[in-house]
Structure 1
Amino acid sequence: MSMDVLYTAVATAENGRDGRVASDDGKLDVVVNPPKELGGSGAGTNPEQLFAAGYAACFQSALGVVARREGADVSGSTVTAEVGLGKTADGGYGLAVAVSARIPGVDQAVATALVEKAHQVCPYSRAVRGNVEVTLSVIG
């Protein structure tokens, strides 16, 4: 797929999951450590938290785009992304993502349709489609 790149983010990691990650502009500079659940110290953030944060923010924006197209008001809404890391059947590792949206004042059926449409336009959703199991839900 060809595209016209509008923005490129650059980040560099040192020492993988037990080190540091920083963006080239200095706006992001964090210590990363494996979580306690994976035998690490849990002192810093981890790649899954960073991915969850990016996915949630991106999906929230996609939801806003879809809502504007549909004439729906999603002000006050929130999106939460849960990123799970686990072992795959072939002995490797994989990710699973659960995206949940809370859209106050919007009928459940309408909210569900908006979330499904946002999933089609969100760049993160498009990037993982076919590679990562993503479940969607709308929280009353």
Structure 2
Amino acid sequence: MEGEEGGIATKKRGKEGETETTRYKGIRMRKWGKWVAEIREPNKRSRIWLGSYSTPVAAARAYDTAVFHLRGPSARLNFPELVAAEGPAADMSAASIRKKATEVGARVDALHRQHPHALPAGEFADRVDLNKMPEPENSDCDYWDRD
């Protein structure tokens, strides 16, 4: 069962009441934590595989690129302000769309790996490294030096 709750796409999975949610259209998370994107070609049964990414933003950007080139400016996008910079939608083959979408997704994924804390406004980190020692919040406090 699929639906929308306050702008978040939801998809029921597994046990009753269990849901997997994503705020972006056209992507899903694999069991092992990777985010994947694919899109169905208009008037065909075939799908265009858009790749596997470490972040949902990268997968969503790949999806946006593909849907923009398949359906034009009227397509519903995750990041409408970012796709407009790519120029007008052109008539492209499925292979060309896939190539362009995977390039965009890979570029966004690389940026997120280089700068993991540089998330878009309103975004929170999906995963926190629980094995990493936390940074001191206030270096003026000499808590550990107390006797």
Normalising by structure 1, report the TM-score. Answer: 0.29
Larger Rg: 2
Q: Which has the higher strand share?
A: 1
For normalisation by structure 2, the TM-score amounts to 0.28
